[in-house]
Amino acid sequence: MNRSVPVPEATLIGSEEDSPPRSVVEELRAEMHEASFGAASERHPASKPVGDGCVEMSFVLLESKGDRSQYIGLYRCTTEGAGVGISAHDLQVQVIGEIRLENGIYSKKIVSAQASN
């Protein structure tokens, strides 16, 4: 993942008090990127990532309700057969992550990660 790309301003809707800190959003973003590799591997278990593996195409705020913010990341993943490398697969992976604020503590989790051809 290109760490030099800042969190888009659109992901931080509302006042700063209502939004998770940028550092927590960046941590979730990194976890979502890692989850994209897993989803691509599940789709084609006998394949391995090619080149940069999964490249982030977009990352935006999906929904914000009270103490919960959900983000969606779209990734393009390229894999090839692990054996002889004949089969190449170009996949799109959608990952949804969530940040919750409970008792003053932010928690992150991956809600879903799924690949499609």
On whether residue 5 sits in a domain, the answer given is no
Within a domain: 9: no
In a domain, 30, yes or no: yes
SS3 for 104? coil
Selection from 29, 52, 25, 28 nearest residue 40 by Cα? 52
Taking only the tens place, the pLDDT of each residue in 27-86 is: 999 999 999 988 988 887 777 777 777 999 999 999 999 999 999 999 999 888 766 556
Does a structural domain hold residue 6? no
pLDDT over threshold 70, residue 21: yes
Q: Is 106 part of a structural domain of the chain? A: yes
Domain of 76 in residue numbering reads as 16-116
Angle at 115 between CA 110 and CA 117, to 5 degrees: 165
The reply to whether 2 falls in a domain is no
Tokens of 92: 């799109």
Per-residue pLDDT at 88 exceeds 50: yes
Q: How many domains does the chain have?
A: 1
CATH number of the domain enclosing 110: 3.10.450
- What residues contact residue 78 under an 8 Å CB cut-off, 6+ apart? 49, 50, 51, 53, 88, 89, 90, 91
pTM of the model: 0.79
